[in-house]
Structure 1
Amino acid sequence: MMELFDKTIELLQRGIALSWFRHGLLASNIANVETPGFEPRDIDFKAELEKALRGGGIELLRTNPRHLGAERSQGIRILYRGDWENPDGNRVNLEKEAVELAENYLHYMAMLRILQRKLERLKYTISEGGR
């Protein structure tokens, strides 16, 4: 039986979800640039996407026990990084975070546009196929 959606659509959907999650981490890093002792967080995008495609899902990590629906979460592995340290122990390099955030945004928008085009083609095929 032929599948209606190819693997590209699934890959794009999962990539968009991971990119959205990563955006939140990077934005949090920037917001905490003045927080003493703060360590910037990130994910290994490629590794997490491969894991999601093998395992069948992207489950978000529960960072607070009061968050809903995270009991069945397998979690995204959060990486702590920081090759930079301020005198107060803060490890956020603002310039690096800004570059990472901009690159992540560009990847997110590119995946979104590709998915949009694929869905438009599918819609066209379905609507024209009945004529």
Structure 2
Amino acid sequence: MLGSKLDDYMRFNETALSLRSTRQSVLASNIANADTPNYKARDIDFSATMQAALAKANPNAQQSLATTAVKHYPNPLQDAGTLADGTPLLYRGVIQGAVDGNTVDMDVERNQFADNAIRYEAGITAINGQIKSMLAAIQSGS
């Protein structure tokens, strides 16, 4: 029971950090492929994915089947537009097209990468605050 309450207490920030980390990987992939012909810049809709992740983490939410072996099909099935954790990948809108078909705009990618990194750091600060307040409550209670 106590573990469940602690999980509930930390769930939002834990989920946000995990999603920020995933987004950072997607943005880094865009930057790494800035010179790859026909590469299409990708991103995730943080708000929608966060809401879906929180709904999925809710114990009252509908549970999906768990896979127990590598050869099992993921539930739901993945395609090129879905990450392994089920996060949908979207194409970034084209601001200025390139002759080689690449849609990566380095200014946009750098800004998104920096913004996401700052928000990740803010999430770490929030979790540290939660942990400090729990430690203070434990120490004052003993």
How far off is 1:42 after superposition? 0.5
**Structure 2: distance between partners of 1:31 and 1:21:** 15
Aligned 1:41-52 pairs, distance under 5 A: 41-52=42-53
Aligned 1:83-102 pairs, distance under 5 A: 83=94, 84-102=96-114
Moved more, 13-22 or 119-128: 119-128
Return 5+ residue gaps in structure 2 as ranges. Answer: 59-69, 77-85
- Identity among equivalent positions (%) equals 31
> What TM-score comes out, normalization by structure 1 length?
0.81
- Contact 1:36 1:89 (8 Å CA) reproduced: yes
The answer to whether 1:82 aligns with 2:93 is yes
Q: 1:12 to 1:89 in 2, by over 3 A?
A: same
Aligned 1:1-131 pairs, distance under 5 A: 4-5=5-6, 7=8, 9-56=10-57, 71-72=73-74, 74=76, 75-83=86-94, 84-130=96-142
Return 5+ residue gaps in structure 1 as ranges. Answer: 58-67
The answer for the alignment partner of 1:61 in structure 2 is none
Say what the alpha-carbon RMSD is for the aligned residues. Answer: 2.3
* Count of equivalent residues: 120
How far off is 1:128 after superposition? 2.5
**Structure 2: distance between partners of 1:54 and 1:33:** 35
Deviating above 6 A after TM superposition, structure 1's stretches of 4 or more consecutive aligned residues are none
Q: 1:110 to 1:5 in 2, by over 3 A?
A: same
> What TM-score comes out, normalization by structure 2 length?
0.75
**Structure 2: distance between partners of 1:73 and 1:8:** 27
**Structure 2: distance between partners of 1:53 and 1:10:** 8
